[in-house]
Structures are given as C-alpha cells and as structure tokens.
Amino acid sequence: MQELLKYAVKQAEKKGASQAEAFYSAENRLRTTIEKKQVKISEKKYDAGVGIRVAVKKTGGYSIGFAYLTSLTKEAAAKTVQQALKIASFKKPDKDFKSFQECKPSKTVQRIFDKTIAKLEPETIVDLANDLIKTASTDKRITTIIGGISSRTAKVAIANSLGVSGEFNTSGYSLSAYAVAQEANSTGVGWDEYSNCYYNEKEAYTIFKNATRNALKQLHPKAIKTEKMDLLIQPQALTEILAFTLVPEMLANNVQKQQSPFVGKLNQTIAATSLSVTDNAHVPQALGSKPFDDEGCPTQATKIIYKGILKNFLHNSYTAKKDKLKSTGNSTRSLGVLGSLKPKYSVEPVIGPTNFQVSAGTKSARNSYDDVVSEVKNGVITKGVVGAHTANAPSGEFSVALDMAFKIENGEITYPIKQAMIGGNIQDFIKNITMFADDTTQVGFENASVIAPTILVKNVTVSG
C-alpha cells in the first residue's frame, strides 16, 4: 500500500501542492445477528480507500484540499489528487495551518491485533451465537433475545511529504445482548455489552447471562417521586453522557471555537479532587489504542483532569500549532461522537479521544462496589441512559432518561424503577462525584473507548 500512497504524495507535489499526505484504511467486518432467540443473518463486509490531503501555499497561508477514492489504482489516485487540488484552489488560505505532521520516531503498542479474529470464520460465530441463545433461554419468562457478535480487523497506512510513513493492524470484538422478560402483564428489559480488541468466548456467555438476569430483575417496576438523591452511574451510562458532553468539550478544536464550558479554565479546579481523567492510547486490548494517530503523530497518555484540576485539552497537529503546543496525537478520521458512519479514508482528520480513562484521583475515593452501594442512603443505580446524544455540548447541559435503573434504600438495591430522568450540566456533575467502585470496564464507542468504574454522584435531581 505504501507504494500507492507515496505515488499519490509525489503526484500531488508535482501538480503544485506544497505538502501532501495520503491515508489508507481498510476494514474487514464479520457479524452475526440474533433476533427473537434465533440466529438471523451473518454478514461479511470489506471496505477500503485512500484519502488524499494537499496543502497549497498562497499569500497569507495555505489552502487545504481533500478528496478520496475507493478504486485503488494509480490512475484513480492521480484524478483524486487533481480534485483535492481543485478544492484547495477555491479555498481561502488558512493562516493557522503551518504543516502536516512532521516525522517522529514511532511507538509500539501492545496487544491491539488479535490473530484469532483475522482467521475467524462465519461458522465459528454462528455456532457461538446458537449456544449463547440456548444458555440465555433457560428461563421461560424470557420471551426475546436480541444481540450480535461482531469482529473486525483494520489496517491503517499513511505517507506524507514530510517523511512520515507507517502502518499498523488492529482488531476489534464486540458483543451485545438484549433480553425481554414477561410475567403477569409486566415487561422487563435487560441488556449488557462488551468491547475489546481480543476475541473472548467466555465473556460472550457472561454478557448474555447478564442481559437475561437484568431483564428478569426489571420485572414489576415501581414509580419513584421526584427528588434530589444520590446517583450511582455504571460505566455504560457514564460513557453515553461523557461521549456527548465532556469528551467533545475537551477537544481543542471545540475549545478554540469557544464551544466548551472549559474555555480558559486550564490549571483550574473544575471537578471533585477525587476525579482524574486521562486519554491513554497505550492501554493493551483497548479499542482506542494505536501507535500513531490518523495524521501519523505518535500517540501518548494525556492527563486531562488530574485530581480535579484541568490539565490539558486533546490536540491534533493543527490545533496544537495554533496554541503553540505539541500535538497530543489525537487526530482522528472518524467524526467522533457526531455519529458519522463514514469510513475513515473518506473524512478529513479532526480530533477525537483514544481511550478516555476515568479513575479515582485519590486513594480514599476508591472503594469496593459493595461499599459504594452501601454508602447510598437514598438513591438510584443506573446501567444506561437514553437520549444522551441530545445533550448540548457547548454548554454541557444534558437531560436523559434512565435505563435499567434500580432504587437504592439504606445501602441496598431494592426495586426496579419504572421511569425516571436526570438532567443538569456536566460541570456540576463532575464536581459532585465522591466515590469510585472497583468494577472498571471498557465501553467502546466508534473506534475509541471510555474506561471507567461505577461512580457515585451526589445531589442529582431524579424526576419520576
């Protein structure tokens, strides 16, 4: 692939680009879907293309052009280069653009590619799916099981005119299980999910068992009254909220555009001192781990919040140069939480998280899961939230419905909750965090993840 990429870069320079970059991504995806306690369909998809970015020097700065191709020939690459140059010719120069990523020694990241996944055949996951359905259907009250087993292998390669060149392989494995239980006019819904770079059959059984157990526990829910109480938020629900609030608010492009409540707050206390958040691209087996980002910049672990203090925003080469900083290696070609379903090669790099690690900033805030639950006198625990994508990221305001929530009374989980909502802004939310459980879990979103435990947030208005 390097040959085609280098050809495209050379071609761009020949036709008038001051700098050029070519980025290749390919994905092989395998999925088996379960519907109504049955294996429904298996799919195998392949997707590959090259995105070409050019920078043309003009008075007052550079103009950037971008175009992509899926027909991977030199001829098509040459045409795409022309298209990118045409776009650049029409765009006004950008005074803040200095250059594409300069060449730096690359890193290696452990355990991001599982050979088992590369060799996985549809038969294997169909058999597994069939077995999972059997395991999960033992209780007669379970009327529906829906879910899926997905795996992917991906390859990324890059070359630019500043000498950057590299490639790596990654893999991904994800499971989702959703169960419906019915008993005497009551319907309970339960689910669970799993994401990792490595294939794992044992986890599949756990996830499907959890979904059915959760569905049964959700039977015969009760209404609660609106009041301020403690909220125990599990990793999946936390991921949903963070993905649409704190994550975009920590991206330097949004900060530079004034679209973050954390503008001008660097080195100030913005959260409870018990909270630390790190974006870490080097976590083994985590979906967001990679040796270099989508511009070829080596990745790292970046402290975002340390013991409540805002330390860094996440940068790509463009925003970093604008703020006279070093890139944190967070360039990404997925449109992140905006939910773009487009392949990587077809979008220009923006900024995104890798693995967003949320952890206790102080030892005393870290407790066993049981101890955290027993701490709650009056509260709720929720596995999921619904509607987080409607949050207003520039202001941090969100309002979501709880999903798979239970009431906690005097330190004990007592009954499932019929319908409840929480609202507020993320700024207050992170100030009111007091305890962290020991059940740290990786929750995947897009090609990134949030790695977090169950967290106790004080004084949340829960409307019933």
Partner 1 sequence: MLLNTVEKAIKLAIDLGAEYADARAEQIYSTSIRLTNERFEQAISGLDQGIGIRALYGGAWGFSSTTSLEPKHVKTVVETAFKTAKATSKAVKEKVTLCEVKPVKDHVKIKVRQPLTQIGIDKKLKLLLHLSKIVRNCSPKIVSANLSYEDSTSQKATVTSEGTQIRTDTSRALAAVTAVAKSAGKITSCRERVGKLAGFELFEKAKTDEIFERAAKRAVGLLGAKPAPSGRYTVIANPNLAGVFAHEAVGHGCEADHVISGESILEGKLGKKVGTEIVTIFDDSTVEGGWGTQKYDDEGVPTKKRLLIEKGILKGFIHNKETAAKLDMQPNGGARAQNFSHRPVVRMSNTYIANGKYTFEEMLKDIDKGVYLKSTRGGQVDTAKGTFQFNAEEAYRIEKGKLTAPLLDVSLSGITLETLHNIDAVAKDLDWNLGSCGKSSQSVPVGTASPHIRIRNALVGGRA
Buried b / exposed e along 182-204 (16+ C-beta atoms within 10 A): eeeeeebbbbbbbbbbbbbeebb
**In angstroms, what is the minimal distance from the CB of 64 to partner 1?**
8
**In angstroms, what is the minimal distance from the CB of 347 to partner 1?**
7
- Which residue lies nearer to partner 1 by CB, 122 or 163? 122
Q: How far apart are CA 462 and CA 464, in angstroms?
A: 6
- Which residue lies nearer to partner 1 by CB, 154 or 372? 154
**In angstroms, what is the minimal distance from the CB of 111 to partner 1?**
26
Q: How far apart are CA 427 and CA 434, in angstroms?
A: 14
**In angstroms, what is the minimal distance from the CB of 370 to partner 1?**
29
**In angstroms, what is the minimal distance from the CB of 12 to partner 1?**
15
Q: How far apart are CA 111 and CA 197, in angstroms?
A: 8
- Which residue lies nearer to partner 1 by CB, 64 or 197? 64
- Which residue lies nearer to partner 1 by CB, 14 or 40? 40
Closest CA relative to residue 453, chosen from 434, 439, 433, 443 = 439
Q: What angle do CA 202, 208, 213 make, to 5 degrees?
A: 125
Q: Alpha-carbon dihedral of residues 452, 371, 205, 177, nearest 10 degrees? A: -60
Q: How far apart are CA 379 and CA 432, in angstroms?
A: 14
- Which residue lies nearer to partner 1 by CB, 368 or 419? 419
Q: For 103-261, where are the alpha helices, taking DSSP H only?
A: 115-118, 122-136, 201-217, 235-244, 246-249, 252-256
Supply 441's token pair: 């879990």
- Which residue lies nearer to partner 1 by CB, 96 or 439? 96
- Which residue lies nearer to partner 1 by CB, 194 or 436? 194
DSSP string, 319-368: HHHHTT----S-EESS-GGG---S-GGGS--EE--SEEEEEESSGGGB--
**In angstroms, what is the minimal distance from the CB of 172 to partner 1?**
13
Closest CA relative to residue 178, chosen from 212, 142, 133, 152 = 212
Q: How far apart are CA 202 and CA 210, in angstroms?
A: 13
**In angstroms, what is the minimal distance from the CB of 80 to partner 1?**
8
Q: How far apart are CA 241 and CA 334, in angstroms?
A: 19
- Which residue lies nearer to partner 1 by CB, 182 or 362? 182
Eight-state DSSP code of residue 316: -
**In angstroms, what is the minimal distance from the CB of 52 to partner 1?**
10
- Which residue lies nearer to partner 1 by CB, 392 or 414? 392
**In angstroms, what is the minimal distance from the CB of 31 to partner 1?**
9
What phi and psi values does residue 203 have, to the nearest 5 degrees? -60, -35
**In angstroms, what is the minimal distance from the CB of 413 to partner 1?**
20
- Which residue lies nearer to partner 1 by CB, 27 or 435? 27
Kindly tell me the sign of the dihedral angle through the C-alpha atoms of 450, 353, 297, 310.
negative
**In angstroms, what is the minimal distance from the CB of 115 to partner 1?**
20
- Which residue lies nearer to partner 1 by CB, 116 or 390? 390
Q: How far apart are CA 62 and CA 54, in angstroms?
A: 9
Q: For 17-100, where are the alpha helices, taking DSSP H only?
A: 74-90
